[in-house]
Structure 1
């Protein structure tokens, strides 16, 4: 028997393909129309009578209220992943499910002494990372997210709506100033590559001495600018972050502004190739009452399929956090 996630994914995929045939748009744009239809329970007026008639019949086949939030998130994620396979744009990539869950687990650990939280994802893409993290935080949360790509932000907004997650989105270049007060927690899967806007880059300490600056370095600095003193930053980083030609500058910047709380190296099996391997960097912005942990949390994750290994590592991490928070 099919699971709810499979049933909803198949419905979304079939409906998207039906729309795609009609509007001759890329899969991800047609998926946006499917998600909109599902959320509003009505069909876009832009579509002609024949397809509208077909879609009205299709809409009767699904009752969104019978699905749990997590099932909606996973089905949407599968449909977006399918669309991304067809799309060759590098930025059209999604944080893997297991990695997003691990970031959520860490977010919960570093913020559990707070009753209220303000959270920001400055590189939200389709919203999978931020909605996964929100599902794991237990306190009252005010959430912000930013994304420059119009297709991705549209999917992110619909993704949040379908999951009934309240997120304020900024549709802008995240390396430009925000109309937002600093937050308690930043989560981001850092976009890797060069930042093309050299003029904006000159505002940053981490700008390159010559040529284009690294976007992933500037994102770290921008995130620090929008974090309160003592706040936490959780970044999914490329494995080579501290080995590149501009890494000395980055190292000095981090040492001057934050405590390195931990680095968690993700399993190679979670990524297509060695050059794609990532880690999670946990930072705390320095403040009056902050201090570096006696011993940072340094972990090499086993394969996510190794249940026993995962249980052992999580147990070690849980006990590390107990002593870290007690200090």
Structure 2
């Protein structure tokens, strides 16, 4: 698989660089064109002869159907990461693959025998997390949705989805504004962290700050609960300092009223450059008439995903929790 990922990455990177050189556009813009070329296999009209010949040559070298779905996702992810190097916007990041895999495992465990359900990522970015989770639910039929405000990221999400032959409905909008979407069974999201600039929109939220900009990650939690069915589950990647801010009491009171805290799993320290950047997986269940708090909250410090023995030990403890304490 690694060899195939490298092969497809090289094809995407080489083709992207041909487009960058010829059309003088940013790498990520050219990557969108390269991935669409791979999927649709159509060349635009009126290309310069040399340029057309180069692209035709690249098309003859690869067909996306020659690669497994996960190979396509990972190769495109690597190419996007290359394009994002040096990009300073905080929201331009990709959820690490190991986190996506673990989130997918958690969704599978919590949804159990439910085979038909809906899923939404309100901050989907390039859709890498959403697709990583979906690709693990092999025996389920899931109607998926994603929302993203950044035009480049949502176009990459669209290309990503096409190459994996998935159906996902996307909303290109500020996800903290009203969304034309019925509540879903599952939310998965790597929460954007920082301040939300639109105080007028934030004013309609319970978790707004009375003075100054509100925390985007708090507002996303509130908005996500609004778009979750009663009894539905929410899986967030959160900053580990979430419950250490001056607004922690307001957040905890809000969660107590609207949700059950089901799990908090600290991601391995080795994944992060420093303590301030550490993240956790936070699992909630939206309250409903038939829901209740778990016997005990699922708590764990996850070891390095490379440490197979330690990981097996944690998974064994989690299995016990699902049997006895859920």
1:21 Cα deviation from its structure 2 partner? 0.8
1:53 has 2:53 as partner: yes
Kindly state the Cα deviation for residue 46 of structure 1 after the two structures are TM-superposed: 7.3
Task: Tell me how many residue pairs correspond in the alignment.
Answer: 325
Partner of 1:158, secondary structure, is helix
Using the TM superposition, give the Cα deviation of residue 84 of structure 1 relative to its aligned residue in structure 2, in angstroms.
Answer: 0.9
Deviations along 1:92-137, one digit per CA (max 9) or x if unpaired, are 1000000111111111111113231100000000010000000112
Task: Calculate the TM-score normalised by the size of structure 1.
Answer: 0.97
What CA deviation, in whole Å up to 9, does each residue of 1:65-115 have, x standing for no partner? 211001101101110111111322211100000011111111111111323
User: CA, structure 1 residues 147+46, in 2 after alignment: closer, same or farther (shift >3 Å)?
Assistant: farther
1:45 Cα deviation after fit? 3.8
User: Equivalents in 1 of 2:86, 2:43: separation in Å?
Assistant: 25
Find out whether 1:154 has 2:155 as its counterpart. yes
Give 1:165's aligned residue.
166
> 1:271, 1:214 → 2: CA distance?
22
Cα distance in structure 2, aligned partners of 1:222 and 1:43:
41
- CA drift of 1:189 comes to 0.2
Cα–Cα, structure 1 residues 47 and 309, in superposed 2: closer, same or farther, change >3 Å? farther
Q: 1:46 to 1:275 in 2, by over 3 A?
A: farther
- CA distance in structure 2 between the partners assigned to 1:212 and 1:188 by the alignment: 22
Question: What's 1:106 paired with?
Answer: 106
Alpha-carbon distance between aligned partners in 2 of 1:111 and 1:2, rounded to the nearest angstrom: 30
Residue 35 of structure 1 pairs with residue 31 of structure 2: no
| Kept after mapping to 2: 8 A contact 1:190/1:219 | yes
Distance 1:84 1:200 in 2: 29
Q: Which runs of 4+ in 1 moved over 4 A?
A: none
| 1:152-196 deviation digits (Å, cap 9, x = unpaired) | 000001101100111000000000001110000000000000000
Of stretches 79-88 and 214-223 in structure 1, the one that deviates more from structure 2 is: 79-88
Contact 1:120–1:187 (8 Å) recurs in 2: yes
Supply the distance in 2 between the matched residues of 1:2 and 1:129 (Cα, whole angstroms): 20
Q: Assess if the C-alpha contact under 8 Å between 1:124 and 1:188 holds in 2.
A: yes
Question: Secondary structure of the residue that 1:16 maps to in structure 2?
Answer: helix
Q: Give the structure 2 partner of residue 201 of structure 1.
A: 202
Q: Work out whether residues 37 and 44 of structure 1, in 8 Å CA contact, stay in contact via their aligned partners in 2.
A: no
Is contact 1:229–1:285 with CA below 8 Å preserved after alignment?
yes
Q: Which runs of 5+ in 1 are unaligned?
A: none
Alignment match, 2:262? 261
Correspondences of 1:301-316 after superposition (within 5 Å): 301-316=302-317
- Map of 1:90 onto structure 2: 90
How far residue 324 of structure 1 moved from its aligned partner, in angstroms, is 4.3
Aligned equivalent of 2:227? 226
The 3-state SS of whatever aligns with 1:44 is coil
RMSD: 1.3
- Name the structure 2 match of 1:235: 236
Structure 1 window deviating more from structure 2 (191-200 vs 106-115): it is 106-115
Cα gap change, 1:160 to 1:252, in 2 (>3 Å): same
**Would the aligned equivalents of 1:5 and 1:71 in 2 still touch at CA under 8 Å?**
yes
Q: SS of the residue aligned with 2:289?
A: coil
Cα contact 1:230–1:284 (8 A) shared by 2? yes
